Amino acid sequence: MKRIIQLLLVITLSLPTMAQETPFLDDAEIRMLINEISGDRSFEHIRVLTQWHRDSGMDGYFKAADYVVEEAKKAGLVDVKFVEQSLGRANYTPISAELWMTEPVEIKLADIGDHALYLADGSHDADLTAELVWAGTGSKADLEGLDVAGKIVLVSGYPGAAVNNAVWDKGAVGVICYGTSESKNPMDFPDQLAWTRISANPPEGKDGTFAFNLSPRKGEQLRKVLQTNSMQDFFATGKKTMGGKVTIKAKVDTEFAPGDGRTGFVEGWIKGSKYHDQQIVITAHLQEEQGSANDDGSGCGNLLEIARTLNKLIDEGKIKRPLRDIRFWWTDEIYSEYRYFRDFPEEPAKMLANLHQDMVGAKQSIGSRVQHLIYAPHSITSYLDALFESVGQFVIETNNPFITAGRMGGLPRPHSRPIYATRGTREGFGARFVPFFNASDNMNFIEGAINVPAVGLINWDDYFIHSSDDDLWQIDATQLQRNAFIITSMAYYLGKAERSETNLLLTETYTQGGARLANDLKAAFNEIQTQPDVQLGWKNANIVIEQGTQREVRALNSVTRLVGEDSKIKGQIKAFSEQLLSKEKLMRDEIASLYKATHGVLASKFVLTTEEKEATKKVPVNNPNLDEYFGKRSGRVQGIKIHSTMRMEVFNYVNGERNYYEIYKAVLAEILAAGNWYYGTLTLEDVTKLLDTNVTSGALSLKK
């Protein structure tokens, strides 16, 4: 123990001075990056991208990609290209679409020349006039006894059910729907157009149809006309008309390209000077609806600005060319990465880390939005989380007001180290670190079969996502600049880090792990004090401590991915790991003391149940063929109640060494550490069903 303490003291004393507020950047580097990164430049890119309806495979998607290709070249990236990929369905593009009420008064209700979201994606050509019928939600129950043949149905909410039940089952000719994005209260967003879609592939023997999408206000006005038998000026046209009957004219022109469609992503590089098998991959996604300024025009604009910033600093001699390649991807969200890894399974081994941006431009005072800084999941906790937390916390602390530092401490007010854009706000940086969730492109990299550490940025909750409200007026160039600073700083550090950074990486990873272990201890205490089944609470408490220690040992070992491995580095990691084992023993003693104090007896040694013993006999192995693995894998198993993020973690823990029970323990510990409110609950039975199903499908096999 004395030798370990001496080694820790030497490591600590060898660290650079802590005068700066993140040890990964010195004061001059911070000033250099703040001076150069521009949220206003990012905003200008978003201004261009918002004009196109750019869902996967649409003409607008390729126009957006063409723009990014040209701007990436201007930003100094090399080998810039569009990487074409199979879409798996026909390319679809809406050309024009208008919806009119012709009786009782003529009013244009919708035109995709005004906004693309007036038409549901997947709609087919139409040129017809028909009576409008109110059909509730479009459910089978709401349609019972209703004659809709040859008519257009008006429904609240999304159009999918009405297309199936009213059009294809009962002969209606089309749908008009109204609602809000993600089913928010329409009273809060009466003029919002939600992004909707219907199946482009009708059942056999049926024709394709269309669905127009209106705002809640306009949809309710239509319903009122249908259900009011009196004279009113329903749409404030200056002319009173009789309600009770509405005639609609719909004209739709769309294009379905024959055969298998295409999509893809834009790629560009900053080539490193030394290492070409430790790529830093920075991602954002191009694919979204028209507008989508924040989701994810913001990330796409920031990627272009990060590329420009780094290349300018290199060209001016302010920074050296990075040792490692930095690879920029503007993707078809989530799909592009999975498709690429399946097509080129050798590529993930060349990747060191993924830094992802999605929804990084929110004007936070509109809708009280919060920037979420997303850690990697426990299955791949690493040095990257420590770097992320350090840089991110620096921005949070220096771009929010603190009375002690400002008014009482003499630092600049309201923010001590402000990052402001020229045309941005002076609002604070409303941000917090959160446990992993699988909702954007960073999820592709942390897959157990891919095994690339990744962190991401997403603001939430967002009232405007996937709607006509996600547009430029919701964007703050200042928040763009702050988030770009975080990612640029991390890429800059990772690009230049050598073995001399081992001490810093280990101490930062170790100390961050100490905070995680403290939270594990809190979760273990909670199990002992609140779990109705006393023995289960004791068992769970021990699992949390055991798995937390294993997680932190893995995190320390991850440093070798960046700095390499030799006897000295191994010795340093060993010393820290021994400290972790000492902490584990102390925590086990602490939970034993609490158990006795709570229940009045010493805790007995827990034994495995028959189900747990059986689970230890099964060791799953991933199908080594990535295309087959992802093609055959499914998290949708009937009857199981595992949170979608934790289903992914079950798969992530499969490594050919852990058995079913060990995988269950690892995921359970992660759930308990975050809280059941965040990740739900878990049973060994559900984990077993999920893994068994995927063994049957061929995504996994059992080790003999």
- Which tens digit of pLDDT belongs to each residue from 360-376? 999 999 888 999 999 99
User: Which whole-number Å values give the CA distances from 96 to 118, 126, 242, 257, in the listed order?
Assistant: 11, 11, 31, 16
pLDDT at 21: 80
Mean pLDDT of 227-251: 91
Instruction: Report pLDDT digits (tens) over 101-116.
Output: 999 999 999 999 999 9
How far is Cα 554 from Cα 380, in angstroms, rounded to an integer? 8
Taking a C-beta distance cutoff of 8 angstroms, is the pair 22, 394 a contact? yes
Contact residues for 326 (Cβ-Cβ < 8 A; gap 6+) = 269, 270, 272, 279, 280, 282, 310, 491, 495
Residue 406 binned pLDDT confidence (cut-offs 50, 70, 90): confident
Angle formed at CA 673 by CA 668 and CA 676, multiple of 5 degrees: 70
Angle formed at CA 87 by CA 51 and CA 643, multiple of 5 degrees: 90
Mean pLDDT of 232-258: 92
How far is Cα 189 from Cα 424, in angstroms, rounded to an integer? 25
Domains in the chain: boundaries: 2-89+262-497, 92-256, 607-704
Taking a C-beta distance cutoff of 8 angstroms, is the pair 213, 289 a contact? no
Query: What one-letter code names the amino acid at 592?
Result: A
Mean pLDDT of 478-490: 98
Instruction: Report pLDDT digits (tens) over 409-442.
Output: 888 899 999 999 999 999 999 999 999 999 999 9
Looking at domain 2-89+262-497, its CATH superfamily turns out to be: Zn peptidases (3.40.630.10)
Helix axes 502-530, 2-13, angle to 10 degrees: 120
pLDDT at 11: 41
Instruction: Express as a percent the part of the chain with pLDDT over 70.
Output: 97
**Is a pLDDT exceeding 60 seen at residue 19?**
no
User: Which whole-number Å values give the CA distances from 568 to 42, 286, 419, 577, in the listed order?
Assistant: 44, 44, 40, 14
> E strands of 179-272, at which residues?
211-214, 231-232, 241-242, 247-256, 262-270
How far is Cα 37 from Cα 73, in angstroms, rounded to an integer? 18
How far is Cα 245 from Cα 223, in angstroms, rounded to an integer? 10
Mean pLDDT of 567-577: 95
pLDDT at 183: 85
Counting beta carbons within 10 angstroms of the beta carbon of residue 571, is it exposed (0 to 12), middle (13 to 18) or buried (19 or more)?
A: exposed
Q: Is the dihedral of CA 347, 348, 354, 360 positive or negative?
A: positive
> DSSP code of 197?
B
pLDDT at 405: 85
Instruction: Report pLDDT digits (tens) over 194-207.
Output: 999 999 999 999 99
pLDDT at 12: 41
How far is Cα 553 from Cα 561, in angstroms, rounded to an integer? 14
451 Rama class: left (phi>0) / alpha (psi -120 to 50) / beta: left
Query: What one-letter code names the amino acid at 663?
Result: I
Pairing of strands 431-434, 126-134: unpaired
Counting beta carbons within 10 angstroms of the beta carbon of residue 417, is it exposed (0 to 12), middle (13 to 18) or buried (19 or more)?
A: middle
**Is a pLDDT exceeding 60 seen at residue 8?**
no
**Is a pLDDT exceeding 80 seen at residue 14?**
no
CATH no. for 92-256: 3.50.30.30
Pairing of strands 152-156, 174-178: parallel
> Residue 98 is inside which H or E element, if any?
strand 92-103
pLDDT at 615: 97
As a whole number, the mean pLDDT across the chain is 94
Taking a C-beta distance cutoff of 8 angstroms, is the pair 450, 400 a contact? no
How far is Cα 155 from Cα 157, in angstroms, rounded to an integer? 6
**Which has the closest alpha carbon to 545: 593, 569, 580?**
580
Q: In what order do the strands lie in the sheet with 351-357?
A: 78-86, 262-270, 324-331, 275-285, 351-357, 454-460, 370-374, 431-434
How far is Cα 559 from Cα 169, in angstroms, rounded to an integer? 59
How far is Cα 360 from Cα 45, in angstroms, rounded to an integer? 14
**Is a pLDDT exceeding 70 seen at residue 18?**
no
User: Which whole-number Å values give the CA distances from 344 to 280, 365, 626, in the listed order?
Assistant: 17, 43, 9
Taking a C-beta distance cutoff of 8 angstroms, is the pair 92, 122 a contact? yes
pTM score, two decimals? 0.94
Q: Helices (H), strands (E): how many in the chain?
A: 22, 19
Taking a C-beta distance cutoff of 8 angstroms, is the pair 374, 388 a contact? no
pLDDT at 409: 86
**Is a pLDDT exceeding 50 seen at residue 561?**
yes
How far is Cα 570 from Cα 7, in angstroms, rounded to an integer? 13
Q: Which residue has the tokens 């993020």?
A: 645
Pairing of strands 211-214, 174-178: parallel
Instruction: Express as a percent the part of the chain with pLDDT over 90.
Output: 91
Q: Which two tokens stand for residue 643?
A: 């949170």
Q: Per the omega criterion (within 30 degrees of 0), is the bond before 692 cis?
A: no
**Is a pLDDT exceeding 50 seen at residue 6?**
no
Taking a C-beta distance cutoff of 8 angstroms, is the pair 659, 615 a contact? yes
Instruction: Report pLDDT digits (tens) over 672-701.
Output: 999 999 999 999 999 999 999 999 999 999
Angle formed at CA 96 by CA 95 and CA 101, multiple of 5 degrees: 160
